[in-house]
Amino acid sequence: MPCFRKLLSLLGVLVFLATQACAQDPVEWTQFHGIETSTRVLVDSQNNVHRLMVTGPAGFLQSYNRFGHQVWTTSLGFTGTADKAITHAEIVGNFLLVSSRTTSAPYTSFVSLFNVLARETVWAWSGDQRRVEQFHGNNGVYATVEQLDQSVAVVFRSANTGNPTQTVTLPNSRRLLGSDQDTGGNVYVVTKAVSESEVRLFRVNPNGVVGFQRLLTPAPNPYDSLWPKAIAVNPSTQRVLVMISAFQSPPGLRPILVYDAPWSTGLGTFHTVAFRDEHTPQQILPLPDGDYVVSAYSFSDNPSFFLPNFHIARYTGSTQRWHLETFFSESMYRGIALSNDNTFSVNKTEGHGLFFQTQVVERRSLDTGSRLWGAFVDGTAAEDEPPATAPTGSMIVSGSRAMVHQLRGVVATFPVTHVPGGTTVSLSINLTADAPTGGATVRLVSFASELVVPAEVTIPAGQRQAILQCGTSGTTVNKSAVVNVRWAGFATQVAVTLLAPNLLSVTVDPRQVTGGQPLTGTVAVGAKAPAGGWEIELMASPSVVTLPTSVVIPEGSTSATFGVTTQPVGANTGVVITATRGSVSKTVFFAVNAPLLSTFTLASNSVQGGTLGSLTVTLNANAPTAGYSILLVSGAPGLVVLPSSTSVPAGTNTRTLSFVTKPVAASTVITLVAYRGSVIKTQSLTLTP
């Protein structure tokens, strides 16, 4: 099975290379300098690329501008015939710091400071019988960290000449295992003493005073030996991180320990990083929020597949946020580097054995670890060196045979993570460098039928961005719509989640009716309905209204109306309509009111006493099933005899009745009253002799 798996992976590589043979080249430029024994590639803030190269006893610096044109070359100042190697190199502001030494004892070390903006050597220093391993500079403070015969020393140096000004020998230290410097010029050094488990962290101030010395011992400590691999300061959080390999006998789980402490005190805590069984750490990269990214490889105990597994992971303390893993038979990480856009770059080799190996570069998200883009670099295998990212966004990588490549990339982004189905969403296509002559044709494929993208878009020469307006259609469930973007050998994917219609509201108009009158209901959703429509269930309580059991929002719409009929009621009644889809329900409250007395009239306002009169009461709506009573009052009960009430029959809105009057000797005006609740109506009746 492993052989079959390897064959499939190999075929995949070959097919990819074949399909990309006619694609636009992702490599902006390549420089080749023969086979070197030690190299470094760095990029400054002006997008210039600086390559340090050592061949045997000689070494030199070669600089290129962003277009790959050589702009400067100079010697690293080596003397003698012994082979040399670069031990440390970094760019701080406009200055390039380089430390080198002979590869065997008796050691001779070389330290150089270059102004890459002015393209000149500021100073160069060399010393016999000296073993310089690191060279730091920050805030005008320069320091080298040296391995002595039985001790470790920090040497502060003149910013003008490079000559030593302060030498601090660290106590209880026999082996140098890493160093770094903070923005104030303080140097942090991690060392080992004679004991295998004795690891110490030092802070050395620029005035030559040891600020603190901490013995790094986990509590409890089940380990037989601790071996620091890397140290890094985090200027954003003002903390220092030490990455340590932990070993115990008999062999068991061999985790990576990360000691995390404020750089002011060095008093911190241990975090545990564990992937499989045996771990060998490679790099640790602190992040501004206090998290850190580690790279390592581990070995599995499976005897049938005893090959290293390579890991990259992001941690918050001891909590793993994401984890990448590849098998040695498929790919091997060579180095990782942070970028200034919440991404990191990966340099690795893919292939099997000595054949078909090729260099692969990737840009990945720091939030998720997911691949944003990547490319094969034909004809080269990766060096054990992290990539570098230029301020323009291009990636600089080192390849075998002392090649250096500057690569364009393509990044696709949606401005939002979720959009309602049926709406338009922007898709931004961005190159990390200007499009070449003839423009850059970017090809797109959508893996969701609900998201429509063009087959290709061309970014004009000299430009970097194209913004597409992509149409979407409704979907029955929330769906991740993935778009594959390819250009110049790079392949990246970007996704946006299309939201199914979520029930937003149910409303009625009007919000108050008299029983028996109709009203209109409306349901609204947050996305356009998919093909076949989107059904919403309806229910009302109490049962004084009639409405459909469901309503369907038509395809492409975001709302639908439904009719509601009401029944006459004897008292004002509150009604709730509930609309439901799945687990989401929305309600609306409205009032169904009882009828109101609208008019009270007399057949005649003048009646001869002793004869019958007639009155009529009228409601503004039909009476309910039990009828609807109206109270009556006579202003002179002895002259006009009225019943205490009259009932308007169900389904009608009027009632007429006769009443008795008494004879009178003279014309008399009497007030008659009809009322229900707060509604009062009056009439004046004249009785004549």
- Are 603 and 586 in the same domain? no
Q: Is the dihedral of CA 133, 42, 235, 157 positive or negative?
A: positive
- Of the three residues 499, 514, 537, the one that is the final residue of a domain is 499
Which residues share a beta bridge with 470? 425
Q: Which of the 8 DSSP states describes residue 3?
A: H
Q: What does the pLDDT read at residue 206?
A: 95
Closest CA to 670 of 620, 610, 605: 605
At 67-94, the pLDDT tens digits run: 889 999 999 999 999 999 999 999 999 9
Beta-strand (E) ranges in 488-533? Answer: 490-499, 503-509, 512-514, 519-525
At 392-441, the pLDDT tens digits run: 677 888 877 678 888 877 888 899 999 999 999 999 998 877 888 889 89
Mind spelling out the 3-state secondary structure of 328-374?
CCCEEEEEEEECCCCEEEEEEEEEECCEEEEEEEEEEECCCCCEEEE
- Are 489 and 511 in the same domain? no
At 31-44, the pLDDT tens digits run: 887 666 667 889 99
- Are 477 and 513 in the same domain? no
Cα pseudo-dihedral 54, 60, 65, 69, rounded to 10: -90
Q: Please, are residues 33 and 50 in contact by the beta-carbon 8 Å criterion?
A: no
Q: In what order do the strands lie in the sheet with 654-661?
A: 597-602, 612-619, 654-661, 640-641
Model confidence, pTM: 0.67
Which long-range contacts link 295-298 to residues 24+ away (Cβ below 8 Å)?
A: 295/333, 295/335, 295/336, 296/256, 297/328, 297/333
Residue 559 forms part of a structural domain: yes
- Are 523 and 488 in the same domain? no
- Of the three residues 454, 482, 499, the one that is the final residue of a domain is 499
- Are 463 and 519 in the same domain? no
- Are 645 and 572 in the same domain? no
**Strand, helix or coil for residue 305:** helix
- Are 511 and 463 in the same domain? no
- Cα 395–Cα 399–Cα 405 angle in degrees, nearest 5: 35
Q: What does the pLDDT read at residue 3?
A: 40
At 49-72, the pLDDT tens digits run: 999 989 889 999 999 998 889 999
Residues 6+ apart with CB under 8 A from 249: 224
198-222 as b/e: b if 16+ CB within 10 A:
bbbbbbbbbeeeebbbbebebeeee
Q: What does the pLDDT read at residue 1?
A: 36
Residue 604 forms part of a structural domain: yes
Q: Rounded CA gap, 625 and 651, in Å?
A: 7
- Are 523 and 571 in the same domain? yes
- Are 420 and 465 in the same domain? yes
Strand duo 612-619 + 84-92: pairing: unpaired
**Strand, helix or coil for residue 154:** strand
CATH number at residue 487: 2.60.40.10
Peptide bond preceding 286 in cis form (omega within 30 of 0): no
Q: Is the dihedral of CA 70, 76, 81, 84 positive or negative?
A: negative
Res. 356: pLDDT tops 70: no
Q: What does the pLDDT read at residue 472?
A: 94
- Of the three residues 565, 593, 621, the one that is the final residue of a domain is 593
Q: Looking up tokens 């200034």, which residue turns up?
A: 340
Which has the higher per-residue pLDDT, 300 or 219?
219
Q: What does the pLDDT read at residue 525?
A: 95
Residue 553 forms part of a structural domain: yes
237-250 as b/e: b if 16+ CB within 10 A:
bebbbbbbbbbeee
Q: What does the pLDDT read at residue 250?
A: 66
Q: Please, are residues 85 and 37 in contact by the beta-carbon 8 Å criterion?
A: yes
Residue 487 forms part of a structural domain: yes
Kindly state the helix (H) or strand (E) to which residue 13 belongs, with its residue range.
helix 2-19
Q: In the structure encoding, which two tokens stand for residue 665, read together?
A: 């000797």
- Neighbour count for residue 83 (Cβ, 10 Å): 16
Q: Rounded CA gap, 23 and 20, in Å?
A: 5
Q: What percent of the chain has pLDDT over 90?
A: 67
Residue 48 forms part of a structural domain: no
Average pLDDT of the chain, as a whole number: 88
Domain that holds residue 608: 597-688
pLDDT band at 114 (very low <50, low <70, confident <90, very high): very high
Residue 126 forms part of a structural domain: no
At 561-611, the pLDDT tens digits run: 999 999 999 999 999 999 999 989 999 999 999 999 999 999 999 999 999
pLDDT band at 301 (very low <50, low <70, confident <90, very high): low
CA-CA distances (angstroms) from residue 582 to 313, 334, 464, 579, 585? 38, 50, 45, 10, 8
Q: Give the chain's domain count.
A: 3
159, with CB counted inside 10 A (0-12, 13-18, 19+), is middle
Q: Please, are residues 8 and 386 in contact by the beta-carbon 8 Å criterion?
A: no
Q: Rounded CA gap, 80 and 54, in Å?
A: 13
Q: Please, are residues 452 and 472 in contact by the beta-carbon 8 Å criterion?
A: yes
- Are 601 and 682 in the same domain? yes
Closest CA to 279 of 253, 248, 301: 253
- Are 620 and 662 in the same domain? yes
Residue 144 forms part of a structural domain: no
- Are 549 and 610 in the same domain? no
pLDDT band at 382 (very low <50, low <70, confident <90, very high): confident
Residue 494 forms part of a structural domain: yes
